[in-house]
Each structure stands twice: as C-alpha cells, then as structure tokens.
Structure 1
Amino acid sequence: MDSTITNNTNSCTANSSVQRYMYPTAYSLFFSVGFPANCLSLYVAWMLMKKGNSMAVYLVSLCISDLLYTVTLPIWIVQAMGQHIGDELCNLMAVIMYNSFFVGSGLLCCICADRYLAVVYPLHFNWIREVRTAVLVSIAVWALEIALHIVLLHHMGALQASRYLCDQQIPMTQEDAAVALTRFALSFLVPTFIMTFCYRNIMRSIKCNTSIQVEERRKVGWLLLLLLLTYIVSFMPYQLVMLLRAILEPGSCVWATRLKSAFMVTVATTTLNSTLDPIIYCLINESAKTEIKQTAQNVRWLFMRGKHSDSSV
C-alpha cells in the first residue's frame, strides 16, 4: 500500500506495493479455502459437542472466531484494490482481526490444556473436562480477551481516532511500541509456552504408557504438534516484525520505511492459522473424521432419495 501518514511531530512516507499486489491473490485463496473449512469444522465440532466432547466446545469457539476473521477478508481485498470502504467499516474489520489473534491464542491454549489433562491425568480433573465447564471457560476466554483488547486499544488512542486502526501513525509512537510489546508477550510468548508445555508432557506420558490406548493418544500428540507448528509459522514472523518495530521504529522514519513491506507481508501470513486449524482438526481427530463420514453418508442418502423420488413421478 502506498501511504503517507503524518503525525504531530514529523511526516513519514513508507511506500509498499505488497498490499496492492499480494493481498487480493493471497486473501482470495485464504477465503476460498478457509471459509468452507471453518464451516465444516464448526458443524462437526457442534455435533461432537452435543455428544459430550469437551474439546469440541473450544473448537466451536475457535471456528466462530476464525469465521469472523475470514469474512473480513473480502473487505481487505476491496481495500487493497484501491476502493474506499469507509472509516467505520474499516475500523470494525481491524478490531475483528486483532481480536481474533487474542481469542484464537487463548482457545488454542484451552484445547492443549484439555488434551493435556485427558492424557496425563486421565483419572483426575474430570469435572474440568465436562462440556459445561468448557462452555464457561470459553465464555471467560472471550470476555477476558475482548476486555484486554479494549484496554490496549484505549491506551493506543484507537477508540477515539476515526481511522487510526487502518492507517496507523508512521513511525510508531512510544505508546504503540509499548502495546506491541504487551501483545508480543501475552498473545504469542505465553500461548506458545503453554502449548509447548502441554505437548511435551503429553508425549512424555505416551512414551511411558503401554496401554492399548497409546495409538489414540499418539494422534492427540500429532494434533497438538501440528496446531503448535501452524501457530508458530503463522504468527512468529508477524510478532518478530512487530518486536523489531517496537524496538527500532519509534521516532525513526528510516526503520519505518525498511520494515513496512515486511510488516504487510507478515500480516497476511497470520491468516494461515485460521485457514489450516480446521483442516488439521478434521484430518487427524478420529471423532471428527467419523462425524464427517456420517454426514457425507446422510447427504448422499438424501440425494439418492430425492433422485429416486423424481424418477418415480
């Protein structure tokens, strides 16, 4: 995006063609894959939740968060093609995007913790792995992350500025840098530590367990590993660029210019997480695969029944 952004103390022009040339193609691909994948995963998770699967509760919330973000992609495509989308709509889409980072990170931690307790302590903490508890925890995650996000936006002054979230000040201010460092710690380092801790202890428990359930637990380990790797691949580039911006950019137009394109590219790569998570879950989780097969059989039966009825008329 070609941008010239002026603040009270200096003006800085940071030119980048990334948004104009990369975003329409990348976001179109992510939307065409991510939207149906999240819809399918949401349906499967909903059916499993009704059967008492506690992890499915967190996946329902995660799919809702990812779907909210995915439906903003057409708006970003329109903006990248040079069309004005309006300040209010632009800010709303930006709030949904940033909030998706927070909520998604929290829910992935919940999924890992749920599987950690189920594998490492199968005879304990049963009440924590009940559907009712998972629902309450999911609501708490949404409320906590939204509240934290509002506090950070207020600190940045974004709640008062009409178009602040879409056209941020360049170079980054000290207030923005402090918020970026807080986000780096709370929405990346802490979730990565929790997910890594859960994965390592699950794999350690599997190696020490010789029961017939070892294969199923190994699949749980693969699921968490792929979710962790997807999370790191999707968010680490963005978070590292934001960390560099927070350290080097405040007051420096030179660094703002150098980091502009990298920042724009890594913003796009974060979309990988909301696109791949539902695919990973549906491909590895046995309950999810069984539910998909059952749904496919039901659809096929209804189709054949309708076709048979038409031929009989």
Structure 2
Amino acid sequence: MYPTAYSLFFIVGFPANCLSMYVACVLMRKGNNLAVYLINLSVGDLLYILTLPVWIMMALGHEVNDSLCSVIAVVMFNSFYVGSGFLCCISMDRYLAIVFPLHFGWVREIRTAVLVSAIVWLLEITIHLHLLAHTKAIRNFSALQMCKEPMIMTSEAGVVAITRAVLGFLVPVLIMTFCFLEIIRALKKSTSTLVSERRKICFLLLFLLFTYLVAFTPFQVVMFLRGLLEPGNCSSAQNLRDVYMVFVATTTINSVLDPIIYCLISESAKIEMKNLFQSCEKQVSKIYSSVVKP
C-alpha cells in the first residue's frame, strides 16, 4: 500500500503545503501572528512530505543509504511532534484571543509568535535527540537503518515509544481539547461576535483537532501498546506489526489535510488565494498574448 498511498499524499500534500505557506507568509507580513504558527506547521508538514519519495523507493525494494535512511526516520518522527506543538500554539492563541480578548495583547504580537515558534522547534529537537541518545541510536547514527523497524522492540525503544505517545500525543490532545471547549463556551456567551465568525472559528479548530485525532490516534495507541507489551514478547510483536505498518501510513493524512482545511475555512486565506490566482491569471494572459500576437 505504501507506493500508492504515499504517491497520492505527495501529489496532494506538497502543493497544498506550499500554497498554505505562501498565504501564511503574506498574512504574516500584514501583522497576523497566527500566520507565524501556520508557516512553521507547513514547514514541519513539508519536511515530512519530502521524505515520502524515499519511503516509496524502499517500499519498491530499492536500496537506500544507511545515513539517508536514518535521516528520513528522524525527520518523520520529529515532524509528528513539531506539528503537535504548533497545533497547540494555534489552539492556545485562539483561546487567549477569544476567552481573554482584553488581556495578553503581547501574546498576539508577531515577535512573540516568532519566539514561541523558535522555542517549540528547539524543545522538540532537544527531546528527540535525548530519546535517540537513550536508545544509543545516535552513537552509530550513520551505521544504522533507523527507518527499518526491528522485529521485536527493545526495552529502551519501548520506553521511548511510551514517552512519545504520552508527551508527544496525549498532552497536546488534552491541551487542544481544553482550548476548543473553552472557546466554544466563550463564543456562546459572546454577543459581539457574529454568528458566521463563531462558526468559522469553531469549524477551523474542530477540523484541525478532528484531523489530528483521526491521523494519529491509531498510530499512537499501537505505539503505546508496542512499548508496553512488545519488549521480549515475540507474539505481541507479530500481532502488532502489520497494524503498526498500516497506521504509520495513515499519519500522513494530517500533513495533507491541515493546509487544505486552513485555506478552505479561513476567510483571510481565501482572499489571499483569490488574489494569487488572479495575479497568475493575468501573467498567463500576458504571456499568451505575447506568444499569439503577430
């Protein structure tokens, strides 16, 4: 299933994330602090999307250099949790803006968003390197094929799997769910926010949270079970391996749908896309006129 699924995800996900990042850059230049988090989210998703051709090559039986194999595995897992971090940032930003509209103005400044984004990247990379050091994988990084799953997970890898599932998935889900519920409660009480604006805010956060849960819950549950049951247990490894391999692929859904959801629901994003398409249409018309002109 990997070559077909990953090819489709790459064809859709790469241009979608590029478009989302362009729109977010335009909005950031206009002072939209939320766009800073969306740019970083798109960067993380793009890094993961760019590893898909290598996964396709391996699925088709082509040999891949050990170092490249390890690099794409690190990029993939780091992208998972970087994405979680920035989805939390987006949820917290909207939570503070809607629940406490007269307070925390400094949080909604561009420079604050840039600083928070840098901290998220640094924190995620540091934690990931620490986990790799715990499994001793970082010592022989270039000699290992970290993208190839061992038949039975070691006890050290089991600790890493459980830590990733709790810190990298469960905690972000709790934060996003709390923010979403508080935002809904605040919007119901608000008389100044238009009904249409309420729906758009709720729909954006709801779809981002729903997509995240659909894409990552099965994978993280299996990872947690592997870390808990698999070390030293061959039967558990056999029972969970095929399910794990399928759910690894479904995580890509999040990287593909995030930019599409944002561009379709956000009114400011739709305006910038319309401007971009109109500009491209004008340029194409000029080129066409110059070519066909006698």
| Two-structure CA RMSD over aligned residues (Å) | 1.2
Alignment counterpart, residue 296 of structure 1, candidates 270, 277, 293: 277
1:152-187 deviations in whole A, cap 9, x for unaligned?
011011112322512343311111111111111111
Whole-Å Cα distance in 2 between the matches of residues 170 and 229 of structure 1? 32
Q: Specify the code of the residue in structure 1 equivalent to 2:187.
A: I
1:265-294 deviations in whole A, cap 9, x for unaligned?
010011001010000000000000010001
1:79 corresponds in structure 2 to 58
1:154 corresponds in structure 2 to 133
1:221 corresponds in structure 2 to 202
1:67-97 deviations in whole A, cap 9, x for unaligned?
0110110000000001111100000100100
1:18 corresponds in structure 2 to none
Alignment counterpart, residue 256 of structure 2, candidates 255, 275, 282: 275
Contact residue 37 and residue 117 of structure 2 kept, 8 A? yes
- Stretch moving more, 99-108 or 165-174: 165-174
In the alignment, structure 1 residue 171 sits paired with structure 2 residue 152: yes
Whole-Å Cα distance in 1 between the matches of residues 74 and 84 of structure 2? 16
Whole-Å Cα distance in 2 between the matches of residues 76 and 266 of structure 1? 14
Whole-Å Cα distance in 2 between the matches of residues 172 and 124 of structure 1? 48
Instruction: Give the paired residue count.
Output: 292
1:240-251 to structure 2, matched below 5 A, reads: 240-251=221-232
Percent identity between matched residues is 57
Alignment counterpart, residue 44 of structure 1, candidates 23, 27, 31: 23
Whole-Å Cα distance in 2 between the matches of residues 204 and 28 of structure 1? 41
**Unmatched 5+ residue regions in structure 2?**
none
Q: Specify the code of the residue in structure 1 equivalent to 2:99.
A: V
- Stretch moving more, 183-192 or 160-169: 160-169
Alignment counterpart, residue 182 of structure 1, candidates 163, 171, 193: 163
Whole-Å Cα distance in 2 between the matches of residues 134 and 291 of structure 1? 21
* Helix, strand or coil at the partner of 2:211: helix
Q: 1:255 to 1:124 in 2, by over 3 A?
A: same
Over 4 Å off, 4+ runs: none
Q: Specify the code of the residue in structure 1 equivalent to 2:111.
A: R
1:240-265 deviations in whole A, cap 9, x for unaligned?
10111112111011111111100100
Q: Specify the code of the residue in structure 2 equivalent to 1:59.
A: L
* Helix, strand or coil at the partner of 1:293: helix
In the alignment, structure 1 residue 306 sits paired with structure 2 residue 287: yes
Using the TM superposition, give the Cα deviation of residue 222 of structure 1 relative to its aligned residue in structure 2, in angstroms. Answer: 0.8
2:190 corresponds in structure 1 to 209
